[in-house]
Amino acid sequence: MGVVMVTSNCPVLDHLRPMVRFHLPFASGHETVYRAVSMYLVEQYFRMKEGGTPDWELEEFAKTYQNVFQVNKKMRERLQCASERYRDANTNAVIYLASLGQQMEMDLEVIDHSLEELRYLFVR
């Protein structure tokens, strides 16, 4: 469901399109944070290379995921109205995506905490 939604040309979900190529079904919370932040920082690198102003402090990152959470919420509502027979399967898929998005719907303090939990991966 997530791959379909991200590749649907939705202007909000389009920010997540690069993650489709490296999709991890059943990703853990740590994997999701790692992939999302990594993708965002690669995007900032290319923005800088093209003469733009990169967001190395991740200030826009949380706003992006707040918008993703809203799209997932509205999609769940639409699926509930449109789907009678397979209501549970459809809405459960979007609820799962919304919960992952909700993990990312946070302020910078929470993002920093989530990243600190991954610091051990980089200690040599």
**pLDDT in the model for residue 9:** 87
**pLDDT in the model for residue 111:** 74
**pLDDT in the model for residue 92:** 65
**pLDDT in the model for residue 22:** 84
**pLDDT in the model for residue 41:** 94
Of 33, 24, 27, which is closest to residue 104 (Cα–Cα)?
Answer: 33
Show me where the domains of the chain are located: 2-119
C-beta of residue 118 within 8 angstroms of C-beta of residue 30 = yes
**pLDDT in the model for residue 93:** 64
- pTM of the full structure: 0.71
C-beta of residue 24 within 8 angstroms of C-beta of residue 100 = no
**pLDDT in the model for residue 33:** 84
For 26, what's the count of Cα atoms within 13 Å in the CB-facing half-sphere? 0
Instruction: Compute mean pLDDT per 10 residues along the chain, 124 residues long, and list them.
Output: 80 87 82 88 96 94 84 78 62 60 58 84 85
**pLDDT in the model for residue 51:** 98
Question: CA 119, CA 81: separation in Å to the nearest integer?
Answer: 43
